[in-house]
Amino acid sequence: ADNYTTINAGDAVKLRLECDEEFEPISIPFLLNRTAQKSPDQIALGSKLEDGSWKTLTYAEYKEQVYHMAKVFIKLGLHERDCVSIIGFNCAEWFISALAAIHAGGIVSGIYSTSSAEAVFKIMQKTKSSIAVVIDNVQMQKVSSIKHKLPALKCIIQVQAPFTETEIEFYKWADLMDTPVAGLDQQLQNRLKNIVINECCVYVHTSGTTGTPKSTMLSHDNILWTAQMFAKLTKLEYEEEVVVSYLPLNHIVGKVLDIFVGIFSAASVYFANKDALKGTLANTLREIRPTLFFGVPRVYEKMHDKLHGLDFNGNLIQYRKVLGFDRCKILAVGSSPIDLNVKEFFADTDMSLTEVYGLSETGLLTMTDINPSELSSHVGHAIPGVELKILNPDGNGHGEICCRSRNVMMGYLDDRVHTSEAIDDDGWFHSGDIGYLDENQNLYITGRIKELLITSGGENIPHSHIESLVKTELPFISQALLVGDKRKYLIILLTIKTEIDPATGTVRDELDPLAKEWINSLGFTYTKLSEVLQSDSENAILNSIQQGIDRVNQQAISNAQKIQKFKILSHDFSLPTGELGPTLKVKRFFVLEKYHDLIEEL
């Protein structure tokens, strides 16, 4: 191949071996075969049954099922470079489908289980999906309702009951696992021989706020270079690691960490309940006791809120045991800024968080030390093989973060404009993130170019930095969302921490322990958010918050960056109420629309 980028799924790209030659380029089928041969009896995957017991697959069985399903896909009409879309929660069949698609020479595309039928249609249309694997009937109904608009779609495979579809192109997973495919051995071997390490095998869809999401194309080398580098930097021990899979698998972190780092290190991966992010994750962690854990900031914030106020008389291992982290060597955090109070709490309880930074288009780029000894707000330095630079820095050294490495994507599928905007002629990927490097080359992220608030006076405001400061000064605040784009001054929307129903993920009226502690410190005995909001003592409560805002404003580098007004919202953000996305990130544009009238009043 002559080019580092392409927009065609069938093209190969030039490998960026000049960035790093430490790991020999290998294919995903080569990796699975190597691990299955080396560790055939090691537990690969664990799934919880309804009676509470665990059903496990060894690496030999895992490989056998992947090979079987790859032959089934070929039998069902999957051609090389065709796409298999998988929709649903994390389970063994998700992993097996993804790897089977790749072994058959296809490309795997994961879709959020929370996506609407219309969103599913846009992605499946763009990727010309040939086969859809749906985990349950909820997802089946979505695909069933749009299949007439998808001419490339040959069949839909459903994993779990109830099965309500009876048409000819619908299949049950269990039936296909019993389908004889011995006659397809040679065809599969031919497909495996044709696999090219520098061709696309995975699509990751970026969450476009408007219109159709961009489809990032990743090669075998993109994915496995990241997986191997992560395993090396975190000193993972072969056959010794245990992981709980709970982050959505269409997300880059879930896919690379759970599937590919898992296979590389012969780890045992156990699947959390499908409602893990609504509150059941804690039970799985205590039962499985992972050795490695990655969480988005919201997950750690929930853990912090749960543990705050517990006193184990200096016996720090008890904190770890409550969370299921008593044998966890690495606690990693990434995807958005984390509150320094939360980081400090985990550090004080001997569970220092390792910060990582990366994107769907790149995988891992930077990392702090494992179990860092000092608290900081940076996301570490570039990992070996990654070049970083700050483009067009301003007077404070802040500019767009750009990188070059072996894990930079091939391009966006069928999207020349966005691909050429993202990767320049010198191979630098333009992240769209704003940040700066300190004298030790540690990277600080201050916001997104597209989300930079630009006031009506033309001042650029790094909203995520200011929001983090507010949450640090006011630990009882759960969410802080700055508003000021094209406006004369900044306002901030705040939510107070309340309890969350572990079964449904809905927010309750009951104040969280940190919020109760704050209310008690003001001399009140309220235990519910509704009591706080309807209180006659409103002035004392608002004054307390204003004092925290004032402390934040003292750190502002200009008057334009000072918060002028705030408003406490009637409930915390959650998945059911729509303000949080599948990885618990705040959906900024949704919130701005939902509270439009309130914002206008301010």
- DSSP assignment of 525-581 equals ---BHHHHHT-TTHHHHHHHHHHHHHHHHTT-SSGGGSEEEEEE-SS---TTTTSB-
Residue 372: pLDDT above 90? no
- The pair of structure tokens assigned to 530 is 């509704």
Percent of the chain predicted with pLDDT > 70 = 97
> Rounded to an integer, what distance in angstroms lies between the CA atom of residue 505 and that of residue 581?
13
Q: How many residues in the chain?
A: 602
Beta bridge partners of 430: 402
**Pairwise CA distance, residues 501 & 295, whole Å:** 20
Q: What are phi and psi of 493, to 5 degrees?
A: -95, 135
Question: Given the structure tokens 């790859």, which residue do they identify?
Answer: 70
Burial, 198: exposed, middle or buried (Cβ in 10 Å; 0-12, 13-18, 19+)? buried
Q: Residue 345: pLDDT above 50?
A: yes
- Percentages helix, strand, coil for the chain (3-state, rounded to 5) are 35, 25, 40
pLDDT band at 236 (very low <50, low <70, confident <90, very high): very high
Instruction: Give Cα 2 distance to the centre of its chain.
Output: 32
What pLDDT score does 212 carry?
67
Q: Is 112 helix (H, G, I), strand (E, B) or coil?
A: coil
The yes or no reply on domain 244-451 and CATH 3.40.630.20 is: no
pLDDT tens-digit series, residues 499-538: 988 778 889 999 999 999 999 999 999 999 999 998 877 7
| ω into 162 cis (within 30 of 0) | yes
- C-alpha 393/C-alpha 405 separation (Å) is 21
Asked if residue 414 has pLDDT above 90, the reply is yes
Say whether pLDDT at 451 is over 70.
Answer: no
pLDDT, average across residues 164-170: 85
Residue 505 near residue 574, CB atoms below 8 Å: yes
Percentage of the chain beyond pLDDT 90 is 72
Q: Which CATH superfamily is domain 455-601 in?
A: ANL, C-terminal domain (3.30.300.30)
- Mean pLDDT for 370-389 is 88
The two beta strands, 429-437 and 443-448, are antiparallel
pLDDT tens digits, residue range 290-305? 999 999 998 999 899 8
Please, what is the average pLDDT of the chain?
Answer: 92
Residue pair 110/86 in contact by the 8 Å Cβ criterion: yes
User: What's the rounded mean pLDDT across residues 172-180?
Assistant: 97
Comma-separated ranges of CATH 3.40.50.12780 domains in the chain: 28-196, 244-451
439: tokens are: 């004298």
Q: What integer is the mean pLDDT of 241-254?
A: 94
DSSP 475-544: TTEEEEEEE-TTSSSEEEEEEE-EEE-TTT-PEEEEEPHHHHHHHHHTT----BHHHHHT-TTHHHHHHH
State the pLDDT at residue 210: 46
In tens, the pLDDT along 92-114 reads 999 999 999 999 999 999 998 88
Question: Domain 28-196 belongs to what architecture?
Answer: 3-Layer(aba) Sandwich (3.40)
The two three-digit tokens of residue 479, written as one number: 């969410």
Helix or strand run (H / E) with residue 390: strand 387-391
Rounded Cα distance between 77 and 450, Å, is 42
Going by pLDDT thresholds of 50, 70 and 90, the confidence category of residue 456 is: low
Adjacent-strand bridge partners of 43: 58
In this predicted structure, what is the pLDDT of residue 211? 55
